[in-house]
Amino acid sequence: MNRLTSHAAALAAACALCAGAASAQTPYVLDEQRNQSNFSFSGDTSIGPILGNPSNDFEVDGIVDILLTPSGGGFSTGEFDGGHLYTVPSTLMAKIPNPFPFLPPLATIDIVDAVYRASSPSFSVNPSTGDFNATVTLSATNGYTEVTYLGITSTTTLIGTQSDPTPVSGRAYISGTQTILDMPIDAAFHIDDPGSGITADVNLDGRIVAASDSASKPLVLRVGTLQASTTGTFTVTDGSPNTFTYLAYSVAGLGDTFVAQLSVTLGIRNPVQAGGAQRTNALGTTIWNLPIPSNAGGLGVRLQAAQFGKASNIWLTTVL
């Protein structure tokens, strides 16, 4: 190979490397805006329609993981890559009405502690407007259904159930210092309850609105799988660097609790501190590795981290 050819090959390799770096997707963790993320459920079953008991309206909270290119705005591609979205209230109550309205419902169906992650193939984004079309699947990572039929109650896990791949049209864009996702979705799930023999097709219809502010990133908590008699891992990222950080849990459910010492309101009721306070590192990260009690199996837990004046997302999970 002569010198000119060698230089050309090196230049081509360098350009390819630069192009690869430019096209690398940047992960964004977006905080769900609960007051704008309004949903309703509906559906049909093998014994009749699904109605709210009393209401079919709910909200969605949590975090959305999305990969966007290029970093900083004018996005051209995107991909949903996880998250932790849960319903508020945490129990959605439904009924299957009796054909004779003066009689009790044929059955009741409760969806309890449901948590979903979003995934999709890569999709194109209009760099000027943020408009995109994608196919999104919601997968349950926590929760269960409780069906009462003919006086018998049966429970079935939601973990592993998925929505049909759902075509969506939304926007992902920058406004000032905020990265914003605005996406209507109507996700369809098929549920089988072996205990009652009832099958159901359930639709969750609403709008996912989530945002992250580059000037003040939300504190992010992620929790690994928790299993009784083992060690659980609890990770905080995007915190203020070199700052004392606290981890709390609740078995009493969701609800506002003001913590005066930290000047922050947690979203869990009767919180209990887990482990000791830890300083974040220079990147704003800290990790707890804590023992899970042997008698905790089956327990539903809400967890949240906090620094002074700042609270993380809430993480719902069930101890195995």
Quick one: three-class SS letters along 203-223?
Answer: EEEEEEEEEEECCCCCCEEEE
**Tokens 């920058």 identify what position?**
174
Contact 210, 63 (CB under 8 A): yes
Please give the CATH number for the structural domain made up of 24-213.
2.40.160
What pLDDT does residue 216 have? 83
Give the torsion sign (CA, 254, 256, 258, 263): positive
Which CATH number describes the domain made up of 220-318? 2.60.40.230
For the chain, the maximum distance between any two Cα atoms, rounded to a whole number of angstroms, is 92
H and E: helices and strands count for the chain: 1, 24
Structure-block tokens of residue 230: 């083992």
User: Is there a common fold for 24-213 and 220-318?
Assistant: no
Locate all alpha helices (DSSP H) within the chain, ordered by sequence.
3-23
pLDDT in tens, the chain (320 residues): 444 444 444 444 444 444 444 457 899 999 999 999 999 999 999 999 999 999 999 999 999 999 999 988 899 999 999 999 999 999 999 999 999 989 999 999 999 999 999 999 999 999 999 999 999 999 999 999 999 999 999 999 999 999 999 999 999 999 999 999 999 999 999 999 998 999 999 999 999 999 999 888 889 999 999 999 999 999 999 999 999 999 999 999 999 999 999 999 999 999 999 999 999 999 999 999 999 999 999 999 999 999 999 999 999 999 99
CA angle 142, 144, 148 (to 5 degrees): 170
Q: Are 147 and 157 in contact (CB under 8 A)?
A: no
Listed by start position, the domains of the chain span: 24-213, 220-318
Query: pTM of the predicted model, to two decimals?
Result: 0.90
The structure tokens listed for 132 are 């995109």
User: What tokens were used for 24?
Assistant: 């690398």
Instruction: Please report the pLDDT score of residue 35 as a whole number.
Output: 95
Q: What is the pLDDT of residue 97?
A: 96
Which pLDDT score is estimated for 212? 94
pLDDT at residue 310 in the model = 95
- pLDDT score for 71: 87
